[in-house]
Amino acid sequence: MKWEKLRPPEPDDPMCCCECDIDQYGCCCDCEDLDGAFNRWLRERPREGGCGPPFRGAITDKLEISMIPVLVLLPLLLRVAALHYLLGVLILTALPGLVLWYYYATHRKKTRTLFFLTLALFSLFYMYYLFVAEILPRGDVGRPQQCAVTAGVILTVGCLVHTKRGPGLVSAELQGAQGRRQEAGETPTRAHGSIPSAASSAEEALAAKWSTCPVCKITRPPRAGHCRTCGSCVQRLDHHCIWINSCVGQANHRSFLLTLCVFLSTSLYGISVVLRSLCPRQHLMTALLYCPGVYSQSSMALCFTCAWYSSIVTCGLIYLLVVQVANISFNVTEREAQLALRNKTGRRRLWGLAVDTGEFSRGFYHNWVEFLTMTDASVAPRSSLPDLV
Ligand SMILES: [Zn+2]
Ligand SMILES: [Zn+2]
């Protein structure tokens, strides 16, 4: 029996429903390749993200067991770190590297993963659990403070769920609408979000920049980009965020920013409440560095260590927020900034925090108005089934 051998899919090959590894053969193969594939299957876990129904990715994501050791190890490591401040410094310094090493060791072949989203949500709920179980019984946190922290956690999750509704894929309806407009010779309407009072000539110039995605082979509006991780074209693509396991694009960029702001406010407030409870005599700014007697009680030491853990995560996300705000101020997406740097067509501004491409910027005020008023031009409210998780 001779099996038809399919050529290996190129990066821009839409043969499969989502991106395949370049060295992976198509769905059919000859006997030698079949043997090789079977041997590979025996040695490795089955490849994920290849050909198959779209819900397979969601199911395999849900069944992902490689994250379980992390969820067990994280509270364990935090408890060990709480034994002594030197252990705390050592473990908290090594923790980001450990997490990344574990991720690359277990997820080399994966495209989309719930690893970081699960880790983020688990950390959030674990910190809240410690706040309720260890800090509240001390009796020095008032009811309004408890409500503020609880509301912050709920709001963070709510904003995250809203962000997960999808980045705004370039849909068939969007292409169809553009095609009909071209046939009718109409002046195009705003597809990427713009200022109502802006000159229509600028919009026409943008509309003329509709291009064809080399991977999906679909016509897409200006500023849309192809996400190799999701295997789809996204309107006004900013970046693929591993922490939410989704792209950030035109439809969810505002809610992504809101999620960041709500989380950071909750985190900063929660850390300050915990430090006030643990070190009431110490000034808030110095309590994180010096809190005498905190290691005399294991529960206090654990909460103090978790305040440090939260501070490290918060600092990283504050940097992300600052970069996002800088990019929006110059009306440039993260993808455009990276492309401009690579092609040497942009200038670094604000001490290197932002890249000014000069292509879409209309001044600070108008750039923010455009960002806050842009609408999702796609019809489908949800991107795909895997985005539900
Ligand atoms: Zn594409
Ligand atoms: Zn993506």
52 class by beta-carbon count within 10 Å (0-12 exposed, 13-18 middle, 19+ buried) = middle
Among all bound ligands, the one having the nearest atom to the CA of 228 is 2
Q: What is the pLDDT of residue 51?
A: 38
Q: Distances from the Cα of 250 to the Cαs of 126, 253, 254, 374, in angstroms?
A: 32, 6, 8, 7
Cβ pair 74, 126 in contact under 8 A: yes
Q: What is the pLDDT of residue 18?
A: 36
Residue 355 pLDDT level (bands cut at 50, 70, 90): confident
Cβ pair 227, 212 in contact under 8 A: no
Instruction: Quick: pLDDT tens for 46-93.
Output: 443 333 444 444 444 455 677 777 788 889 999 999 999 899 999 999
Residue 15 pLDDT level (bands cut at 50, 70, 90): very low
Q: Is the pLDDT of residue 369 over 80?
A: yes
Which tokens hold the place of 36?
Answer: 């090789």
| Rounded CA separation 206/360 (Å) | 10
| Rounded CA separation 122/120 (Å) | 5
Among all bound ligands, the one having the nearest atom to the CA of 167 is 2
Q: Distances from the Cα of 340 to the Cαs of 81, 224, 268, in angstroms?
A: 43, 15, 34
Strand pairing class (239-241; 246-248):
antiparallel
Mean pLDDT for the stretch of residues 118-137: 92
Residues in the chain, total: 389
Q: Distances from the Cα of 57 to the Cαs of 17, 61, 300, in angstroms?
A: 11, 6, 42
**Residue 282 CA, ligand 2 centroid: distance in Å:** 45
**Residue 367 CA, ligand 2 centroid: distance in Å:** 24
| Rounded CA separation 336/267 (Å) | 30
Residue 346 pLDDT level (bands cut at 50, 70, 90): confident
Lowest mean pLDDT among 136-140, 301-305, 356-360: 356-360
Q: What is the pLDDT of residue 371?
A: 92
Cβ pair 165, 258 in contact under 8 A: no
Q: What is the pLDDT of residue 180?
A: 61
| Rounded CA separation 182/194 (Å) | 20
Cβ pair 275, 264 in contact under 8 A: no
| Rounded CA separation 158/169 (Å) | 22
Averaged confidence pLDDT in the chain = 76
Instruction: Quick: pLDDT tens for 247-264.
Output: 999 999 999 999 999 999
Among all bound ligands, the one having the nearest atom to the CA of 230 is 2
- What residue ranges in 120-196 does DSSP mark as E strands? none
Instruction: Quick: pLDDT tens for 143-156.
Output: 999 999 999 999 99
Mean pLDDT for the stretch of residues 155-163: 94
CA 372 distance to own-chain centroid: 20
Rounded to the nearest 10°, the torsion over CA 247, 249, 255, 261 is: 80
* Percentage of the residues of the chain whose pLDDT score is greater than 90: 38
φ/ψ of residue 110, rounded to 5: -85, 145
Q: What is the pLDDT of residue 284?
A: 81
| Rounded CA separation 331/163 (Å) | 20
| 9-13, 33-37, 84-88, 376-380: range with highest mean pLDDT | 84-88
pTM equals 0.73
Per DSSP, the three-state class of 60 is: helix
The 10 Å Cβ neighbour count of residue 233 is 25
Q: What is the pLDDT of residue 177?
A: 63
Q: Distances from the Cα of 297 to the Cαs of 55, 114, 356, 374, in angstroms?
A: 48, 35, 52, 52
**Residue 149 CA, ligand 2 centroid: distance in Å:** 31
Residue 219 pLDDT level (bands cut at 50, 70, 90): confident
Q: Distances from the Cα of 66 to the Cαs of 97, 99, 102, 125, 227, in angstroms?
A: 17, 12, 9, 20, 24
> What is the b/e burial string over 263-274, where b = at least 16 CB atoms within 10 angstroms of the residue's CB?
bbebbeebbbbb
**Residue 125 CA, ligand 2 centroid: distance in Å:** 25
Q: What is the pLDDT of residue 123?
A: 93
Q: What is the pLDDT of residue 202?
A: 56
Which tokens hold the place of 330?
Answer: 């110059």
First to last CA, the chain: 42
Q: 141: alpha, beta or left, given left = phi > 0 and alpha = psi -120 to 50?
A: beta
φ/ψ of residue 226, rounded to 5: -95, 125
Q: Is the pLDDT of residue 107 over 80?
A: no
Q: Which residues are catalytic?
A: 241
DSSP 202-254: HHHHHHTT-EE-TTT--EE-TT-EEETTTTEEETT--EEETTTTEEE-TTTHH
Of 309 and 40, the one with more pLDDT: 309
Among all bound ligands, the one having the nearest atom to the CA of 226 is 1
Mean pLDDT for the stretch of residues 321-333: 93
Which tokens hold the place of 213?
Answer: 């995605």
Q: Is the pLDDT of residue 196 over 90?
A: no
**Residue 272 CA, ligand 1 centroid: distance in Å:** 45
Mean pLDDT for the stretch of residues 360-387: 70
Residue 207 pLDDT level (bands cut at 50, 70, 90): low
Q: What is the pLDDT of residue 174?
A: 66
User: Using N-to-C axis directions, what is the helix angle for 253-278 and 298-329, rounded to 10°?
Assistant: 150
Lowest mean pLDDT among 92-101, 111-120, 275-284: 111-120
**Residue 38 CA, ligand 1 centroid: distance in Å:** 31
